[in-house]
Structure 1
Amino acid sequence: MHVPLPVDQSGSDSHNQTDPLLPRRPIDRLARPLARFLHIEATSGIVLMICTAVAIGLANSPWAETYLGLWKTKVNLQIGSFQFEHSLRHIINDGLMSLFFFVIGLEVKRELVHGSLSDIRRATLPIAAALGGMIVPASIYIAMQYGQPAVRGWGIPMATDIAFVVGCLALLGSRVPNSLRILLLSLAIVDDIGAIIVIAIGYTDHLDLRYLGMAAVVIGIVQFFSYIGVRRFPPYIVAGLIAWFAFHESGVHATLAGVILGLMTPAKASIVPERFRVYLNQTSKSFEEEHLEVRVRRGEQVRMLQRISRETISPLEYLETALHQWSSYLVIPIFALANAGVAFQLSNINDPVAVAVILGLVIGKPVGVLGFSFLAVKSGLARLPEGLSWSVLAAGSFLAGIGFTMALFIDGLAFGDDGFTNAKTGILVGSGISAVLGMTFLLWTLPKPAVQSS
């Protein structure tokens, strides 16, 4: 559910440029096309769709028992009397997904400091739309499951999977107004914040205050590291692992450690570009010298140059750029393979839980997004962005009903590591219907592409 990183609006494709200073190597013939592919905005959605299709296909194949049993494989770590044993799916959902949530924390921090949520006037509409898109689906689910054990899954239809949404918008090309893209991306960020709150409050059964206190101490140490200016990553990695373990043992979901550390990441650079240019001018003179003693020190100067150049961007920007693709193209696909495998049976679709999830996504999401947006605009708290009509917003609001990654994640929290097959069926069917309806209505409401005259 990642929000794509800001793109270069100048029209240049920096990823297609070959640095003339670097020699051509055989590996570049593979690496450069792959890099271009990974930087296409919709690619992560395509990879996610493929992994989802593979998981569903294998779960309904003759190899289903082997495939589904793979994720129940026990992983055991024992040190002395301490033993840490969980299923492979649990390791993925609680461990590997912490990287996903760390990147979410970075994205939320970026939007709060520099992005669309930094200005309350711009943020009001996506906040209102996201609140509607969470409250109405959850209310539909609760109303349909009230008094039943499965009411615990009320958080499932609340979140939007932005990777799939971006993929759908990319298929429509330039016809989609930029204002709709920005609104849906901002909505997804607020959705993420809401999902984090839901996970922390709604799906914590018990608390071990000892481990929770340990987590608080480690978070304090991380803040102290930042305060005294520690810029090397290893101390933070060690502290992050300890914080993850403490949250995991405390009863609070361990992935919240990733969110908290992401939100704590500094968003300002230590060195302004002007000072860096002065340093480069001074250093260039050293590289022009031909004296032996100067050449011996070049290794030291290169290391210093690397360190200083790193400080010209904020830790938040550096980490988000470095980890975004790992999260989008490794963590989320593995999560999909481990959780999207559903053995489809026609009777599952008629199950009350599946119906509640489907209605929450297909009906609740667009009604909530459009209804709360309308109220915010009519009350004067927000205004409709220029170039975005109510009909286009109504069509786009159906895409908000594509709930996949976070919906499956909350399904696991509500019904155990393996999740609930009928709830998963509702997620996949509801998301598919939402995607088809959103694409169809957008094709109908968006302006037709101009016909090129010969």
Structure 2
Amino acid sequence: MTDQTRTAGRLRSALANSETEQVGAVLLLVATLAAIAWANLGSGYEQFWATEARIGLDGWSIGLDLQHLVNDAIMALFFFAVGLEVKRELTIGELTGRSRALVPAAGALAGLVVPALIFLLIARDSGQAQAWGVVISTDTAFLVGALAVIRPAHPSRLRIFLLTLAVVDDIGALGAIAIFYTADLRLTPLLVAVGALVLIALVRFVPTGRGPLYAMLAVVVWFGVHEAGVHATIAGVAVALLIPVAGPRRDDVERVVELTRSFRQSPNPRYAAAAQRQLRESISLNERLQQSFAPYIAFMILPIFALANAGVTLDGETLQRAATSSLTWGIVAGLAGGKLLGITAVTFAVHRSGVGRLAPGMTIGRVAGGAALSGIGFTISLLIVSIAIDDPAASDEARVGVLAASLLSFLLGWVILSTLDRKVPVTPPGSVLLRPFDPERDHYVGPADAPLVLVEYGDFECPFCSRATGMVEEVMEQYGTDLVWVWRHLPLHRHHPHAELAARAYEAADLQGRRLELARCLWANPDRLERLDLLRYADEIGLDLDRFEADMDSEAVRRRVAEDEDDADLMDISGTPTFFVGGRRHVGDWDAPTMSAALEAARGR
């Protein structure tokens, strides 16, 4: 699979996920309002959710009221989805890049600690100090929904920052539930759960029937964790962290292409089934489950949870108690103030120190707006209210605090982001070439003083880049001395493990004046770029092999490739090939007629 195709696929997936999250946030809000109305205008809210449900088998049974069935069992599926996302981000996602991940991760840790400290400072004499966990978590569904409502300019980087922050936030909240909100631990059922988890880790080696095995063992884990006295939602996270995740492998994707071609040439059920199976297997189970679970989480599980937990009685007595309750104000200050203060301050400190850095397009002001929205702490906050507070009156006060803090955080985020959009407009990163063409430094073909400059960031292991050479040759022939083409390196390490070595080989060949000859070999063989392959190509074009290999491994060549990568990273370029025409980023197709039109537009400018 090419990186251009992969990027387009991720964009379509992100748009679909964004729509799901937006609709889910609306349903969550509707369910919250319905729960409040039911508790205040109707009757029987508490009695309904206190109805007992019992599951039994051969004399053994487990009894849960409907609210605990939702909070302990159904919400385990929500935490399973959260765990899948955490595993993916830690393995192949945003949290794999140290410098980029460090800033939101540090901000998230501050967003866990600072709100808890503020809560304890205000509510320490309320008799409910153990409820500090209520203020540590951000509700991702409402957070994404709030961004969709506010619609800040160029929201993609802010959204990624906040989702990365939310992953670390979820890890902290889940850890708090497991460590601080578990009582009466029973060893035997816990050992049963651990044994089932060991078996889950081994299921990946089973050739067929893995899905039913995962499902059955997950049920065993849930029962074991529940009976051990640990909050049962932790079972969902534990199972999810053992589900394998990996990026698509080239061989698997190429096999899909072959089977699809066979089906097109000879349509029959056997080829169709094989292509469908191979297509499914080319995507890791983790990502398939995330895609499958997302609608159920957004449209069913979270709204049901809100309906079961948000029903606080807002009569005069409750509101009067809440207005003077240190518990309520501790929650409001912790969520609405602590998240904003902690995330913004630590993000600023880490970014300014140089230890980590913000992604292109992100500013401290936009971080502050996102930090304010992070005070929307609904789902896990209400869950911890039900776990940590036994007194019904105090529970109502805490729920009032969660609802008030979430509304206040939304309003704060809206004011900050909308004000910044008016006063400090954001320029999309990467729309203008960061480093202009430099004949003394760049690799180029054509006259250095040509009026038109075409800059390409590419990757020798990317098949699209090799195909783009035909377009480049065509437009260069068309424009003659009016055009110079510049090549810069952007090896996509995550998907193309040999791309950096190929880039260094190109630089080593340039030191012997033969880079274009080697480049033709590299573009012709994007799937054969092992070190021995590179040495064979170097030998074929007549290079000094000892010098070539020494240069390829030299620090100067490594640094040269890294400089191009740094430029691309600062411009937020994530796919290849990426072209700049006349110093402006080209968006869209890059066939010869389209590129000619872009060059004419650049000539007009």
TM > 0.5 fold call: yes
Q: Deviations over 1:206-251 (max 9, x none)?
A: 2111011100110111112113344531111111111100000001
- Tell me if the contact between 1:41 and 1:170 (Cα under 8 Å) persists in the aligned partners: no
1:130-178, CA deviations, whole angstroms, 9 ceiling, x for partnerless residues? 0111100001112233365311101101011122221221123251443
- 2:286 maps to which residue? 316
What's the C-alpha RMSD, in Å, of the aligned pairs? 2.6
TM-score, with length taken from structure 1 = 0.84
Alpha-carbon shift at residue 180 of structure 1 (Å): 1.8
Structure 1 residue corresponding to 2:325, chosen from 348, 351, 358: 351
Alignment of 1:166 onto 2:150: no
For the residues of structure 2 that align with 1:380 and 1:230, how far apart are their CA atoms? 49
* Alpha-carbon shift at residue 447 of structure 1 (Å): 3.5
Q: Classify 1:170/1:114 alpha carbon distance in 2 versus 1 (closer, same or farther; 3 Å).
A: same
**What's 2:102 paired with?**
124
Matched, 1:380 2:344: no
In the alignment, the residues of structure 1 paired with residue 122 and residue 60 of structure 2 have an alpha-carbon distance, to the nearest angstrom, of: 44
Name the CA distance, whole Å, in 1 between partners of 2:148 and 2:184.
Answer: 43
CA distance in 2, matches of 1:13, 1:387: 21
Q: Counterparts of 1:15 and 1:175 in 2: how far apart (Å)?
A: 17
**Letter of the 1:432 counterpart:** L
Number of the residue aligned with 2:34: 54
Match of 1:74 in 2: 52
Contact 2:21–2:298 (8 Å) recurs in 1: no
Report the residue type matching 2:31 in the other structure: C
Highest RCO, 1 vs 2 (Cα 8 Å, sep ≥ 6): 1
What residue is the counterpart of 2:582 in the other structure? Answer: none
Map of 1:307 onto structure 2: 277
Which deviates more from structure 2 when the two are superposed, residues 238-247 or residues 370-379? 370-379
Matches within 5 A, 1:242-253: 242-253=220-231
Displacement, 1:86?
Answer: 1.2
Give the distance between the partners of 2:210 and 2:202, measured in 1 at CA.
14
Q: Deviations over 1:306-358 (max 9, x none)?
A: 33332121111111101111011100000000000111132123211111101
Aligned position for 1:189: 167
Mapped contact 1:37–1:43 kept (Cα < 8 A):
no
Contact 2:252 2:278 in 1 (8 A): no
Aligned partners of 1:282, 1:11: CA distance in 2, in Å? 26
In the other structure, the counterpart of 2:417 is 442
CA contact (8 A) 1:349 1:425 kept: no
CA contact (8 A) 1:175 1:447 kept: no
Structure 1 residues 280 and 299: alpha-carbon distance in aligned structure 2, compared to 1, 3 A threshold: closer
Q: TM-score with structure 2 length normalisation?
A: 0.64
Q: Check conservation: 1:169, 1:176, Cα contact below 8 A.
A: no
Question: Structure 1 residues 43-52 or 129-138, which shifts more?
Answer: 43-52
User: Given the alignment, which residue of 256, 260, 266 partners 2:234?
Assistant: 256
C-alpha separation in 2, matches of 1:173 and 1:78: 49
CA distance in 2, matches of 1:299, 1:391: 56
Counterpart AA for 2:255: R
Q: Note closer, same or farther for the CA distance 1:313–1:14 as it changes in structure 2 (3 Å cut).
A: closer
Show the counterpart of 1:341.
311
Amino acid across the alignment from 2:339 = K
Q: Which has the larger radius of gyration?
A: 2
Q: CA deviation at 1:200?
A: 0.7
Amino acid at match of 1:444: T
1:389–1:281: structure 2 CA closer, same or farther, 3 Å change rule? closer
Other-structure match for 2:177: 199
* Distance change >3 Å, CA 102–CA 213, structure 1 → 2: same
Q: CA deviation at 1:285?
A: 5.1
- Deviation string 1:344-387 (CA, Å, 9 cap, x unpaired) is 13212321111110110111111111111122123321123322
Identity %: 35
How many residues are treated as equivalent by the alignment? 413
Secondary structure, counterpart of 1:84 in structure 2: strand
Contact 2:55 2:62 in 1 (8 A): yes
1:425 to 396, 400, 419: 400
Q: What amino acid sits opposite 1:119 in the alignment?
A: G
List runs of 5+ in structure 2 lacking aligned partners.
1-5, 427-605
2:23 is matched with which residue: 38, 43, 46?
A: 43
From the superposition, tell whether residues 318 and 417 of structure 1 become closer, same or farther in structure 2 (CA, over 3 Å): farther
| Distance in 1 (alpha carbons) for counterparts of 2:229 and 2:370 | 38
Instruction: Give the C-alpha shift of residue 414 in structure 1.
Output: 0.7
Of residues 334, 339, 360, the one that matches 1:365 is 339
Map Cα deviations across residues 390-446 of structure 1 (whole Å, 9 max, x no partner): 223223321111110010111111125978111111100111111111111211122
